[in-house]
Amino acid sequence: MKVVVCGDSFCAPSQDYPGYHFSELLDGDVINLARQGASNSAIFCQFNEALRMYPDIIVYGMTDPSRMLAPNPVLKAPQWTTPNVLKNIRYGNDDGFPTYNENKYAGDERAPFISHTIDTLVTNRQVLEGSREVVDAIKQYHAYLFDHDAQDCSTEKCIMDIVLEQNFKK
């Protein structure tokens, strides 16, 4: 049986406790796309990648909507690329340093986007490497445009629509 896991740190195995995560205890061919610091947008990309793998089961874990993708300030004009959309996203741990970037399911320091919590993006200088413009834009977004409940609801609806569509194709 082929299983693909999508999500944030709750769905990702811990480097500190190898062999104890639920995804490491499953039988069959298990591919874990989940990453620490993943936003719902990033998890949605994981889900799309999982669909392309034609698994028997997809484990999908949503995260708090206060995580987001931010443009990588190292790049002059970050652009989304294909075909491996997961390489577009760099993830970080709670200290802001990249983690889990050593494989084909995550971007590195050249990835056009960074996934993390809004708080970490605006307070940890290492994450956005001192880009005042990006930090100010995120603060403005959070202060004037971000609605936690609306983000939560829209993410859930998008996923449910895709799941229902996939079930009707069978």
- Least Cα distance to 62 among 40, 79, 77, 78 occurs for 40
For residue 60, what is the DSSP state?
A: E
Alpha helix ranges (H) inside 70-117: none
118, two tokens: 């809004």
Question: Peptide bond preceding 71: is omega within 30 degrees of 0, i.e. cis?
Answer: no
For β-strands 113-117 and 67-71, DSSP reports them as: antiparallel
138, amino acid identity: I
Parent domain of 84: 2-169
Q: Output the pLDDT for position 93.
A: 54
If pLDDT is split at 50, 70 and 90, which confidence band does 7 have? very high
For the stretch 16-63, pLDDT in tens is: 888 888 888 888 899 999 988 899 989 988 998 999 899 999 999 988
Question: Rounded to an integer, what is the distance from CA 10 to the centroid of its chain?
Answer: 12
The fraction of the chain above a pLDDT of 70, given in percent, is 81
For the stretch 66-90, pLDDT in tens is: 888 888 887 877 788 767 788 888 8
Number of domains present in the structure of the chain: 1
pTM for this model (two decimals): 0.80
